[in-house]
Structure 1
Amino acid sequence: MRNGSLPLAIAVVGTWGFVYLFTQVLPDPPLGVEATIAIGLGLTLMVTIGYPSALRGPRRSPRRVAGRQSHTIAAMGRSMPLRSGLTTEAAGRAVRFLHPVLGGDAVAITDRERVLAFLGPGSDHHTVGDRPRTEVSSRVLARGRTIVVRARDRLGCPEPDCPLRTAVIAPLAIGKRIVGTLKVYRLDDIPPPKDVVKGLAGIMSLHLELAELDHERKLAVDAKLDALRAQINPHFLFNTLNTIASKARTDPEEARRLLLRLSDFFRYAVRQEGHLVEFGQEYFFVRTYLSLEQARYGERLRVRYDVDPQVLTAHVPVLTIQPLVENAVKHGLASKVDGGTVTLKARVDPLTRTTSIRVCDDGVGMSPELLERLTTGEGDAEGGVGLRNISQRLEALFGERYRLDIQSDYGDGTIVDLRIPLG
């Protein structure tokens, strides 16, 4: 990002952290997912539209700062380690990832009982596995609010030679439960930027919630849990927000349109009830998703639709076609230099009373190893959507009356064929 986009990117992150705090942490009970996303998108839209006048301000070393922020937002969607849960190993990866972008000299992550990771000055006595040594950590865990510490004596560290002087400590939460803290320290009298720390803590909390949903899904194979998991894809969300932020200065009107499409995308996802919807609704959902991805990939992503009008009123499983298209983009075209074409074809056969859906691409194809991971349910580790999860939902709905076939040759694209009973 160039020419001062750093304030906008920080504002977007801070906005979502603010929304999370005032919709999930402070209210009792917390607001629903639909309301939270609607509020967040509305505030983000306001911030983006108001960017040219409200966020310009002084611009120092724009190339250096812009490069750092681009890494922050783009990498957040790809690499946030807490997606696997609040563990010592995951926290260690997280502090190494966050340390260069948080504006602090030391970074720590704790749960409610112990330090899970600490990187930077002070690690000789802020030891992994010990209870947090600063008194302010207890207040954050008790109150669930971000605290800024502006003097060393207010940190409450009992070590007399501790070099840490100022800090911002933000809570990590799963729903209403405060499960830990993100702590950023500095060695001088200027504390780290509160909004950045608070915003990133909100994003980390979202990843922890998704990790908990994954755990619940493993304990109970329920189509509704799979649908809920599909509703909130952090990789797609943050990549799209990154795209919108980068367009805010060059094309504010396009940024506004993309935000509205993103709102449509999440509104459809969170409002779906039951297991079946008309194909026309899923078709609109897929087109919205692909329009957002085309904004990101530009001319590298081309789309072709071949849909028989008769299929529009046929019923199909909710939130099933879009993950197939997402796999085509993620594994077929994203790594291909000149991009390619994703094709969605749908037909109704009144004689056999079946609906046939084909998603294909002319991308790089899949290696046998990647195809195996996707079909055995390990695809999520690669950022894709596991075909096994889709197959389990189809089996629960249709028994043996469906077919899900995949053909892929490395270097020669992928074809996924889905056939379900006409309903």
Structure 2
Amino acid sequence: MRAGSGTLAVVLAGAWGVVYLATQVLVHPPLGAAATVAAGVGLSTAVVLGYPSALRGPRATRRAAPARPAQDRAPENRPLSMAGRSMPLRSGLTPDAARRTAQLLRPALGGDAIAITDTRQVLAFVGPGADHHHVGAPVQTRASRRAIDKGRTVVVSGRKDVGCPDPACPLRTAVIAPLAIGDRVVGALKVFRTRDQPASRVLVEDMARMLSLHLELAEMDRERHLAADARLDALRAQINPHFLFNTLNTIASKSRTDPDEARQLLLRLSDFFRYAVRQEGHYAEFAQEYFFVRTYLSLEQARYGDRLRVRYDIDPQVLTTRVPVLVIQPLVENAVKHGIADKVAGGTIRLRARVDPLTRTTWIRVSDDGAGMAPATIARLTGAGRRGAGAAHGSDAPEDGPADRHTGVGLRNISQRLESLYGERYTLDVRSTASSGTVVELRIPLR
């Protein structure tokens, strides 16, 4: 207990003692309970209101500070509070993002005008002077070129040093800080004032560093998406030409013995390649991928006949979730090619899918009871990918032996693509036993 609170407690106890003496001991007959309590409450209230305790605070009043102009009020805390917000530049250094960022930063940095440039032209200008500091105009002033070329903050005072050729320009001071991605300067943040006192250099530099961080994250996102696009294109290009050749042979054979079935197979083959080639974006509903997988397996069943059996166990809740395109079919294709095809008696492929509401993940399991893989092959493929990500029946790896032909690259590609889409938030695990089959389990965030 603090000293002020302890003192107040003692005073209140004394006050109630006085009330007791005055109402119960010194008067005859003693007052009733209601009157005693009323007197006690009244006296306690007076003590609390009149005593500068820890509950009420000191009674001394603070002298009001003189009001300052809005632009001179310390803005230091405002940009810090904005650090957790999503800056428009998070999407990249574009004119629209620069304009919205400049509008957001103008009151925060205490500037009359804010400009954002890349290394060649003005992307945004907000505030006094916007009538002649045009968006799209080249970066011409010596101060701006010095900040961009040297990668250092430049502070200029005086209209001449600002370097604007318009004689009516109201800008008098400027703080120009470079924007960089790593060691590469990509633009500049410029804070102008119409007065002789420039904005805080430290504040502008801190904000420039924050914007640079957002630009660096935007660059990483762009590179990650490009990499994911490249891997998706690689998966499309990897659709096995032998599968097409064998399917066409099957259709040709069926055209003599069962023309109706041959026509159906030809339509399914058309649907298969149309989906694989024309599917846009990185995600699709599970129902679409499920139809794609069933189309593929129906074509393979026409080829293998009774040697290939398929079992589906799909939770209806999974059908509306979104999953990466062309991820499930390669897992199933590997099970057919390297599990069932190499087994004389054939086997069964099982596809299961569930939604886990507790972890908010989609769980997909592809298993077969085919030839399986030796531990050495599992270890090699697991080491090649992330968390066992490359360790299914794979495709197109270096040919280490009959059991390893066409293994590794396809599923490593899938793993790398999943990592670019989900980071550390996915798992792709493999369990396999030679002559007993392989199980591949994929768990991805629910979308």
TM-score, normalised with respect to structure 1: 0.46
More contact order relative to length (CA 8 Å, sep ≥ 6): 1
Q: Looking at CA atoms only, which structure, 1 or 2, has the larger radius of gyration?
A: 2
